[in-house]
Amino acid sequence: MNTPLIEKTCGFADSQSVAAKLAALSHPARIEILRHLSASRSCCCREVVDHLDLAQSTVSQHLKILVDAGLVRYEPDRQRSRYQVDSDALADVSASLAELVTSCCSGR
């Protein structure tokens, strides 16, 4: 899991990390990219560009954001790039949000 133990009093530092993860997901283009990556096994940048109707540089930026957030794995392959969804990381984010939600709903 990603919850280290229990933070000082509550979980303040955690808010930061959860927010950062969610920020990477809070753009329609990036969600669309994730969907496309998971649909087609192999994915180079060009493929996403064709699918998405955005400039190549823009797509590259979004991919970088996803990679930096640890949600997508990157592997250079010849002159192409190989992008692949990191399912585990993605599941982690979902779990973090779920955890936040349940903790918010516990004292309902």
Partner DNA sequence: ATCGTCTATCGCCGATAGACGATGAACAAA
Partner DNA sequence: TTTGTTCATCGTCTATCGGCGATAGACGAT
The contact set with DNA (CB under 7 A) reads 23, 26-27, 29, 44-47, 49, 54-58, 60-65, 74, 76, 78-81
List the beta strands (DSSP E) in 1-108: 72-77, 80-85
How far, in Å, CA of 29 to CA of 54, rounded? Answer: 9
Return the one option of DNA, its own copies, none that residue 69 interacts with (CB less than 5 to 8 A, by type).
none
Cα 46–47–51 angle (5° rounding)? 115
Q: Smaller CB distance to its own copies: residue 3 or 16?
A: 16
How many C-beta neighbours within 10 Å does residue 90 have? 18
Residue 37 touching its own copies (CB under 8 A):
yes
Residue 42 touching its own copies (CB under 8 A):
no
Residue 1 touching its own copies (CB under 8 A):
no
**60: nearest Cα among 22, 12, 72, 20:** 72
Q: Smaller CB distance to its own copies: residue 12 or 79?
A: 12
Q: Smaller CB distance to DNA: residue 81 or 96?
A: 81
Q: Which of residues 61-100 bind its own copies (CB under 8 A)?
A: 85, 87, 90-91, 93-94, 97-98, 100
Report residue 75 as tokens.
């592997």
